[in-house]
A and B are shown apart, each in its own frame.
Chain A
Amino acid sequence: MIENILVAVEGSLESLMTAKYAIYLSKLLNSRLTVVYVVDEKTLKDLLKSRIFVEVEAMEYERDLVEQGETFLVRIKALAESKKVQVETQVLRGVVNEEITRKAGELQAGLLVMGEPRHKLSRVDTYYDEGEKILRGVHCPIVIVKNAEMIEKIFKELK
């Protein structure tokens, strides 16, 4: 039995599909669902350090990321509750892959659900995609969600 499922979202349409599939799995497996959105503080700090950003600008971006995350999580919570799935949501801050890996460990998640890493994977460590780092870092099985059309269909059919 999988008691806890963790899903990581980032506020995009693709992420909404990822969340829907996690809701679907949670319903089928009767698992508790935790949805997290991570504010990417590392990128903000890097942009500050490289002087592309000024302090006030980084703060503005951070505020908007938090707001975007909270709004998105409210939407996902409503979706989960409409399918009578127990759900907790949380906005985290920090290095994206580290926060998701830490949360998976903290919850002793039996499954991590995540979207398809957006672009590509680097050969150079500093360019590694966050998704790739999560794949390497977490100790539980991972489901990578694809095929929006199929997910939309099964989510609609879920009672």
Chain B
Amino acid sequence: MLSDHLKKECCIMDLKAETVEGAIREISERLNGMVLDRQTFVLDVLAREKLNSTGIGYGVAIPHARTNSVKNLVIGFGRAVRGIDFNAIDGQKVNFVFVMGAHPREIRQSLGVLSELSKLTLTQSFRDSLKAVTTSEEVIALFKSYEDAFYQPLLT
């Protein structure tokens, strides 16, 4: 689950960056300790972003990469109140940036996390709540509450 990977220390409630590269760098700084080589990590994410924008619309971008600069899957989140021009599919500025890196062997894990992130961020009420929260703790709690609402234990 996504909330297993997203830590409150890796959430920025008010990104200072005003560019795609700046946002990726700023969020990546929060992944300290989880990234073996931050410079390589940032370059790998930027290289992927150059292929095509990960601005998927609705004010959301999910820059990501398969990279040897992490041992395990990492995610960071940044909220840009004024919005960043990510060249998103719908032309809107991006307010929510999720940076994800996964080791190349973590194929299923990264597919699962990207898939969940895609589904959650397509949900308008989720995006509205993400806009309203004020602390990192609330971001984590929001993810958990949506996961709890969407899922329930199997075979109860």
In the complex, B118 has a CB within 8 A of chain A: yes
Main secondary structure of the interface of B (DSSP, over half): mixed
Chain A interfacial residues counted at CB < 8 A: 34
Contacts of B57 in A (CB 8 A): 51
In the complex, B154 has a CB within 8 A of chain A: yes
Contacts of A120 in B (CB 8 A): 1, 147, 151-154
**Which of B56, B62, B111, B154 is the one whose CB lies under 8 Å from A131?**
B154
In the complex, A132 has a CB within 8 A of chain B: yes
Complex formed: what's the CA distance from A78 to B55 in Å?
A: 45
Cβ contacts B5-28/A at 8 Å (1 or 0 each): 000000000000000000000000
Contacts of B56 in A (CB 8 A): 50-52
- Of the listed stretches A38-46, A84-92, A102-110, name the one at the interface; the rest are far from the partner chain: A38-46
- Of the listed stretches B29-37, B46-54, B127-135, name the one at the interface; the rest are far from the partner chain: B46-54
Contacts of B107 in A (CB 8 A): 61, 64-65, 68
Contact call B111/A127, Cβ cutoff below 8 A: no
In the complex, A122 has a CB within 8 A of chain B: yes
CB-based nearest B residue for A118: B112
In the complex, A121 has a CB within 8 A of chain B: yes
Contacts of B104 in A (CB 8 A): 64
Closest CB of chain B to A9's CB: distance in Å? Answer: 12
- Name the interface residues of B105-156: CB closer than 8 Å to any CB of A: 107-108, 111, 114-115, 117-119, 122, 147, 149-155
Contacts of B154 in A (CB 8 A): 116-117, 120-121, 129, 131-132
Contacts of B151 in A (CB 8 A): 119-123, 127
Contact call A47/B152, Cβ cutoff below 8 A: no
Q: A interface vs B, CB < 8 Å?
A: 10-12, 40, 43-44, 46-47, 50-54, 56-57, 60-61, 64-65, 68, 116-117, 119-124, 126-127, 129, 131-132, 144
- If A51-B57, A116-B154, A120-B1 are given as contacts, then 13 extra A-B residue pairs at C-beta distance below 8 Å, sorted by A number, are A11-B108, A50-B118, A51-B89, A52-B114, A52-B117, A57-B51, A64-B107, A117-B154, A119-B1, A121-B151, A121-B153, A123-B149, A126-B119
